[in-house]
Amino acid sequence: MTAVLTIGSSTMAMAQDATDSQKFRVRVPTTISITAPVDAQIDHDETDNDLSFPNQQWVVKANVLSGVMVAFEAQSPFTHTVDPTFQRDAKLTLSLGGTQGPADWTITQATDTTDYANASPTAVVTASSSGVGRASLDLAVQFITDNYGTFAAGDYESTVVGTVTAN
């Protein structure tokens, strides 16, 4: 009897796993902005009372992690548009309206008044944030009358400039 031994070779297919990855990134640009309301005008009531403009709502947006500083500056007292020798002081008062986002907002200088008689022609109020967010900042502006009838008739103007900078 003869035995035959056959040895064969067979290959087994082995499954292979393959992976790869792709990253998705969104770059958010730094945004710092301040938006002023439209110009405001009121008529004097012909009394000795100081005149108050309706609160003016300025909007500040900032996505800076370290937060921002905001300053509002009356660059001059109210000055007669024809004869600048006639002036009345401007008073600024800042308060916090609504906020959005995680930042804490703080009023750091709530009120200031120009003092043209003592060569202090500007007034500055300030606020700050602790991080990312937006705020509505309410700016109250007053025309300091003193004694009605002691200054010329006509238009008086003062410009407030709002500036926001990263901390």
pLDDT tens digits for 41-77? Answer: 999 999 999 999 999 999 999 999 999 999 999 999 9
Listed in sequence order, the residues at least 6 apart from 11 whose beta carbon sits closer than 8 Å to its beta carbon are none
Cα–Cα distance for residue pair 35/25, rounded to 1 Å: 30
pLDDT at 11: 56
Q: What is the pTM of this model?
A: 0.86
Average pLDDT estimate for 26-38 = 97
135, containing H or E segment = strand 133-143
pLDDT at 13: 61
Domains of the chain are: 32-37+50-166 (2.60.120)
CA angle 81, 58, 77 (to 5 degrees): 25
pLDDT at 73: 98
